[in-house]
Amino acid sequence: MKAKKVEFENVSKKFSLHAKKSQKVLNLFSVRTKQTKEFIALNNISFEVYEGETIGLVGLNGSGKSTLSNILGGVIQPSEGKLEINGETSLIAISAGLNGSLSGVENIELKCLMHGLTKAKIKEITPSIIDFADIGDYIFQPVKDYSSGMKSRLGFAISVHTNPDILIIDEALSVGDSTFAQKCLNKMNEFKEEGKTIFFISHSAGQMKKFCDRVIWLHYGAVKEIGDATEVIDNYQKFTKWFNNLSNENKKKHKQEMLAKQLSLVDHKKSHVTEDRTSRLKILLKNGIVILPVLIFTTFMLLGF
Ligand SMILES: Nc1ncnc2c1ncn2[C@@H]1O[C@H](COP(=O)(O)OP(=O)(O)OP(=O)(O)O)[C@@H](O)[C@H]1O
């Protein structure tokens, strides 16, 4: 039987939607119940993935694909639920993982060290990473000067050389040119043959059908379908066709209705009393350093000193 690599059991991710700064300050001193809006980006997600499987993630913009891949890659933690990941993960995303002020070569060293590779091993594989990335002299320039395609090339090159058990590719192929995309797809095939697990996010239905065994269709934070890649992609395409044929007004209405379901009002005083009080105290102390001298100064002024 194949080994289980990933299990999500009722995993949810909520993001706090902060009010205006002035409201935050009022909340700090308020004795009344403090309420915050929370956005449920992922709601009760459950699935299991086994060794050697390639899993696609599809869904409209904002459906939660990157949130899920960031949880898989350990970039963010879930708010609720149980998560089991057996093996080392490596996330390749356009915006993740590279340090903008360091050069390409320095990023190679840093990321490899973070993956636990020895200095000797890093020295051995660096030429191969540089060769795979194929970005010329830019490899010695700070990453902040790279195009998104260059970042994706470097990110992909480093990740595949650190030999992860679970590879998560979040739209990283969509920004490169077709030659590079093909090179990455070949590498992904090698990974597949070695029995590694891959999560693949792409807006290309063709690539999804070709590479994925199963697909998870996320719809406004929930799993709409999970199953055979061709079947789910076909259903998803039927849905996008229906959606794209809606008038702009109806599209907006549909989106608003779905997004409203993802919002919830949280009563912080009831649910996080202890955490709330300690964090309030911390903020008050921090702000006190600024506020106290101002108060003393104002009092002196008013008293006519
Ligand atoms: N840090 C955050 N704070 C508040 N809301 C967030 C945060 N990160 C993501 N979201 C919201 O969570 C939802 C899911 O976002 P996510 O980026 O996971 O979607 P996606 O499916 O990857 O979208 P896309 O296809 O556009 O990349 C979106 O509505 C987004 O606005």
Residues in Cβ contact with 44 at an 8 Å cutoff, skipping those fewer than 6 apart: 10, 11, 12, 81, 222
Q: In the chain, pLDDT over 90 holds for what percent of residues? A: 50
Cα–Cα distances in angstroms (integers) from residue 78 to residues 87, 94, 185, 269, in the given order: 18, 21, 30, 22
Closest ligand 1 atom to the C-alpha of 70? 18
Mutation probe of ligand 1 site: the residue of 11, 38, 39, 218 with most atoms within 8 A of C-beta: 39
Section 20-43 average pLDDT? 70
Q: What is the pLDDT of residue 296?
A: 76
User: Does any ligand 1 atom lie closer than 6 A to the CB of residue 72?
Assistant: no
**Are the C-beta atoms of residues 200 and 229 closer than 8 Å to each other?**
no
Q: Specify the higher pLDDT residue, 193 or 289.
A: 193
Q: Specify the higher pLDDT residue, 293 or 134.
A: 134
> Is pLDDT above 60 for 274?
no
Question: For the domain that residue 92 is a member of, what is the CATH number?
Answer: 3.40.50.300
User: Does any ligand 1 atom lie closer than 6 A to the CB of residue 64?
Assistant: yes
**Type of residue found at 136:** G
**How far is it, in rounded angstroms, from Cα 113 to Cα 116?**
5
ipTM of the complex: 0.97
Q: What is the pLDDT of residue 159?
A: 87
Q: What is the pLDDT of residue 30?
A: 58
Partners of 267 in the β-ladder? 35
**112-123 pLDDT, tens digit each:** 998 889 999 999
Mutation probe of ligand 1 site: the residue of 37, 63, 148, 218 with most atoms within 8 A of C-beta: 63
Closest ligand 1 atom to the C-alpha of 69? 18
In 3-state terms, what secondary structure has residue 263?
A: strand
> Is pLDDT above 70 for 232?
yes
Residue 148 — very low, low, confident or very high, per pLDDT cuts 50/70/90? Answer: confident
Section 3-7 average pLDDT? 94
Q: Which residue has the least CA distance to atom 24 on ligand 1?
A: 61
Over the chain, what is the mean pLDDT? 84
Lowest mean pLDDT among 155-159, 249-253, 266-270: 266-270
Residue 192 — very low, low, confident or very high, per pLDDT cuts 50/70/90? Answer: confident
**How far is it, in rounded angstroms, from Cα 121 to Cα 287?**
48
Q: What is the pLDDT of residue 280?
A: 47
Q: Which residue has the least CA distance to atom 5 on ligand 1?
A: 15
Q: Which residue has the least CA distance to atom 10 on ligand 1?
A: 41
Q: In the chain, pLDDT over 70 holds for what percent of residues? A: 81
Closest ligand 1 atom to the C-alpha of 57? 21
> Is pLDDT above 60 for 41?
yes
Mutation probe of ligand 1 site: the residue of 66, 174, 219, 259 with most atoms within 8 A of C-beta: 66
Q: What is the pLDDT of residue 287?
A: 55
Residue 128 — very low, low, confident or very high, per pLDDT cuts 50/70/90? Answer: very high
Residue 271 — very low, low, confident or very high, per pLDDT cuts 50/70/90? Answer: very low
- Number of structural domains (the chain) is 1
Domain that holds residue 79: 4-302
CA of 221 to the centre of ligand 1 (A): 9
**161-175 pLDDT, tens digit each:** 888 889 998 886 776
Q: Which residue has the least CA distance to atom 17 on ligand 1?
A: 66
Q: What is the pLDDT of residue 118?
A: 92
Q: DSSP code of 103?
A: B
**193-213 pLDDT, tens digit each:** 888 999 999 888 888 998 899
> Is pLDDT above 50 for 273?
no
User: Does any ligand 1 atom lie closer than 6 A to the CB of residue 13?
Assistant: no
Is residue 255 exposed (0-12), middle (13-18) or buried (19+ Cβ within 10 Å)?
middle
Give Dmax (Cα) for the chain.
84
Is residue 232 exposed (0-12), middle (13-18) or buried (19+ Cβ within 10 Å)?
buried
User: Does any ligand 1 atom lie closer than 6 A to the CB of residue 61?
Assistant: yes
**How far is it, in rounded angstroms, from Cα 302 to Cα 305?**
8
Residue 278 — very low, low, confident or very high, per pLDDT cuts 50/70/90? Answer: very low
CA of 13 to the centre of ligand 1 (A): 11
